[in-house]
């Protein structure tokens, strides 16, 4: 009996030291301290971009913006989405059917108890929103649901 208990304890201890529990922090091209981000960003932008928060639906003026141009990261000015890929999803957040390849990074978000595909700026790591498979079927079928406060719009000249 003692050997069985010892074996079980050994297994538990080794499992607690697995690589699955070691998380590496990704280093981005634009990296700042928490204090620098708080100085640069508004309180709401910091909440969304640095703490992976979500703005209220229908609160962003960019949701109904249909001018030609490019949507860039509000934290580091990296171009993320082109206006030609924007559509009205009715969700309350700016939506796009595709990103500018290489400028958006993807990860997993399990905060709600199920897995969602999360999007980040590939340059600074700022949280943008999530991507879903319920977008326009005549294009990519994707809906990049993005927090407007995570974006700035640069109109076409």
Q: Hey, which residues are catalytic here?
A: 145
**Tokens read off for 127:** 């949280």
Contacts of 144 (CB under 8 A, 6+ apart): 81, 95, 96, 97, 98, 99, 104, 119, 128, 129, 130, 131, 135
Q: Following DSSP, what letter does each residue of 56-89 receive, concatenated?
A: PTT--GGGG---SEEEEETTT--EEEEGGGEE--
Spatial separation of the C-alpha atoms in residues 123 and 121, rounded to whole Å? 5
């Amino acid at each position: 009996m003692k050997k069985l208990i010892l074996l079980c304890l050994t297994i538990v201890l080794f499992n607690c030291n697995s690589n699955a529990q070691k998380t590496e922090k990704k280093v981005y091209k634009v990296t700042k301290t928490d204090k620098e981000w708080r100085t640069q960003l508004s309180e709401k932008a910091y909440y969304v971009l640095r703490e992976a928060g979500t703005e209220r639906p229908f609160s962003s003026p960019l949701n109904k913006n249909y001018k030609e141009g490019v949507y860039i990261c509000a934290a580091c000015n990296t171009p993320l989405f082109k206006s030609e890929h924007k559509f009205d999803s009715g969700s309350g957040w700016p939506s796009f059917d595709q990103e500018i390849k290489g400028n958006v990074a993807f990860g997993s978000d399990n905060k709600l108890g199920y897995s969602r595909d999360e999007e980040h700026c590939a340059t600074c790591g700022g949280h943008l929103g999530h991507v879903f498979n319920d977008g326009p079927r005549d294009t990519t079928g994707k809906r990049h649901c993005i927090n407007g406060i995570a974006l700035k719009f640069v109109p076409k000249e």
